[in-house]
Amino acid sequence: MAIILDDWGRNFSLVSDAVAIKEPLTLSVLPNLIYSKKIAEEAHNRGLGVMLHMPMQPLNKSQSLERQTILTATPDTQIIRYLDEALLSVPHAEGVNNHMGSAATSDLRVMRTVLNYLKKRKLYFVDSDVIASTVGPRVAAETSVSFTKRDVFIDNEMNLDAIKKELTKAKTIALGHGSVVVIGHDKRLTLQAIREMAPEFKKEGIKFVLVKDLIE
């Protein structure tokens, strides 16, 4: 089971909670925020995985956007510049997943530009799989970039019992299929649920790994 925790960058204090779980979680950090670099450095130094959580355009036009969000109208050269600058603000990132992105991940040109860039930088891509029309898997196959996709979101409902229910669903997938990629967020309740359930999961044969260990 690989657990990715998204949306880091604004709250440094919860990094110690993630470290205290003593499992190989992967923190996906939003770029260009007040604590982006500090969180990435601390996570790396404490043995956690580090990813760039790259802002990409959603279909919902009312959602507020991060600075330097990749839009379907963003030219290729600007997409590359955004990625360059984002990675500078998230040191030690070994891969990228999309923040939002229901519009951008459905756009072939955008995804070809992004994944070709990641291929050249030897970075993996995790499709957060926020929409059925994503072309992530297709473009990953075209570009031969290291790739996987999210199987379960665990904290769409910010309630401890609900999070534990989704974690149990993820455990069932892992036991049935051999592996599972889970996405949660930098929330205290999410970290609490993982901390409380991890020992029981390990007794049942679940091994926690960094997401890079599940990517071909």
Give the domain ranges of the chain.
2-214
pTM for this predicted structure: 0.96
Nearest CA among 43, 28, 23 for reference residue 198: 23
User: Alpha-carbon torsion 135, 138, 143, 149, what sign?
Assistant: positive
- pLDDT above 70 (res 216): no
- Say if strands 95-100 and 49-56 run parallel, antiparallel, or are unpaired: parallel
CA dist 164 and 159 (Å) reads 9
Fold of 2-214: TIM Barrel (3.20.20)
Collapse the DSSP code of 68 into the 3-class scheme (helix H, G, I; strand E, B; otherwise coil) and give the result: coil
Query: pLDDT of 36-71, one tens digit each?
Result: 999 999 999 999 999 999 999 999 989 999 989 999
Percentage of the chain lying above the pLDDT 90 cut:
98
